[in-house]
Amino acid sequence: GENVEQHPSTLSVQEGDSAVIKCTYSDSASNYFPWYKQELGKGPQLIIDIRSNVGEKKDQRIAVTLNKTAKHFSLHITETQPEDSAVYFCAVRPAQTGANNLFFGTGTRLTVIP
């Protein structure tokens, strides 16, 4: 299956600073890349996603960039707030026909220090 690596595993930033989390993948034909936020005791929640035919997507303070050549994509959070503190997961969908599977990274614990 797809090999997804996520870095860093933990990240602490001061409130108002930016946070960047990066994921690399192995299958160059992968075509869908979502990011999920998981708060303590809750299920993951989709925060942004991007398809392989788009290089960047923004939603207010959150953006995702995709570099297909290098096979990596990144989550950018600007003007961080304490409520951004959570575990963030990237995921990748392989391209083979009938692929319903998402392969998840191992997560990044983001702490925003007030």
Q: Contact residues for another protein (CB under 8 A)?
A: 1, 4, 6, 32, 34, 36, 41-46, 49, 89, 91, 93, 99-107
Q: Report, in Å, the least distance between residue 66 CB and another protein.
A: 16
Closest CA to 13 of 86, 105, 106, 90: 86
Question: In the complex with another protein, which residue's Cβ is closer, 35 or 112?
Answer: 35
Q: Report, in Å, the least distance between residue 100 CB and another protein.
A: 5
Q: Report, in Å, the least distance between residue 46 CB and another protein.
A: 6
Q: Report, in Å, the least distance between residue 69 CB and another protein.
A: 24
Question: In the complex with another protein, which residue's Cβ is closer, 45 or 81?
Answer: 45
Closest CA to 92 of 79, 83, 101, 84: 101
Contact 19, 84 (CB under 8 A): yes
Question: In the complex with another protein, which residue's Cβ is closer, 28 or 106?
Answer: 106
* Number of Cα atoms under 13 Å in the Cβ half of residue 96: 6
Beta-carbon contacts of 106 under 8 Å, excluding residues fewer than 6 positions away, are 5, 6, 9
